[in-house]
Copies of this chain bind each other. A is one copy, B any other.
Amino acid sequence: MVNDDSRTPPRRRTGLWFLGARGSVATTATLGALALARGHAPTTGLVSELPDVARAGLVGVDELVVGGHDVAGSIVERAHELAASGVVPAATVAALADDLATVDARVRPGASGTADRATADRLQADIEAFRAEHDLERVVVVDVSSTEPPAPDAHALTLTELERRLDDGTAPLPASSLYAYAAFRAGSPVVCFTPSTGPRIPALEELAKTLHLPWAGRDGKTGETLLKATLAPMFATRALAVRSWSAFNILGGGDGRTLADPAAAASKTATKAMTVEAVLGYPVEGPVRIDHVADLGDWKTAWDHVTFDGFLGTRMRMQVTWEGCDSALAAPLVLDLARLVARAHEVGVTGPVGELGFFFKDPVGSAEHALAAQWQTLTRWCAGLGDAARADGHAGVAPHGAA
């Protein structure tokens, strides 16, 4: 799957810059990328290794160079914690501890306070320095930092106003949007894996368009929402009338701690709630809850309870219990997205990439929420990217500098 460093020279070295680089998702993704590059791990969970996606002509996992921003923590410590709670194999962490420390040394202090020009410039400079230092084709910025509360004020800004208020030091931007601003200015495509605001405001959408940059989001679809995107179409195509869909999630870990704060949880339950109605086309009652249970660690357990009507009004029920390891589900998707968005950038795609809705709870640039339909859209798009690559005269993997 990955290039063998000793034989083939790296052709498209690509930066993967994590916002929240020392969190569980980023650490698991970093560990996995290192393990895969050394052939220490199977490709389980990596959508981008399935033939229908790989044909897009993606950068190799071994061509990824990881860095990022964070405001606390340590990748090595986080990796040990993840091993202790069974998320990643302890042996893999032990074997790759030095490489993890190398990545950790590349992590720069993030931003969390006011949104001003100086901070924006500093964040941009960090990304540019990373690209230069490692001689990278491009750097994809992936937001996997703690979920923020909704930020309604940011939506009203024009790009001009935003620029002015950054100068004033009064820009009403949450950190995720300040990062997105800096990333775009650094020429980087952005993946918004959290439900935070990020690039999803008019001012930044305009900026991305102006700079001809692709971006993708929002909020990785890894557990209960994945199930909803899978199951709701079954009810729709069987003409069964869903009457209620109740969804309860319990989890510990860093994400669980963050979401124990109702303000942060509001962003998450909003993206979680949209799938069922979007697929069915009619309103469906039922709570969506996330509760913090420290004992579960990174293991999120979701219970969904669905009532529906069948023929002649007969009432029926379905329940699902999902016991997934959130970081293990999210980490490969983060690598998939980095590879796909890098490819989109390479071939000149601009703006929100709706074809990547398969990966997101709230698919920007697309109204489709049914998983199988999203899969078809994705793979058709990948086929097109692959054809583009072949038209360039190489089979599936572009030579260095080809795009």
Contacts and interface: CB of A to CB of B under 8 A. Distances in A.
A137 B401 CA distance: 67
SS class of chain A's interface: helix, strand, loop or mixed? mixed
A324 B235 CA distance: 13
Given A44-B310, A230-B231, A303-B248, A239 B289 contact: no
Contact of A44 (B45, B89, B240, B293): B240
A43 B312 CA distance: 8
Nearest to A318: B322
Number of chain copies forming the complex: 4
A74 interface: no
A328 B305 contact: no
A50 interface: yes
A239 B295 contact: no
A314 interface: yes
Contacts of A244: 250, 293-296
Contacts of A243: 295
A61 B10 CA distance: 61
Residue among A43, A291, A331 having the largest count of chain B Cβ atoms under 10 Å: A291
Given A44-B309, A312-B89, A293 B303 contact: no
Given A31-B312, A310-B329, A226 B234 contact: yes
The 8 closest A-B pairs by CB, nearest first: A372-B372, A45-B311, A314-B328, A287-B291, A244-B295, A230-B234, A310-B328, A243-B295
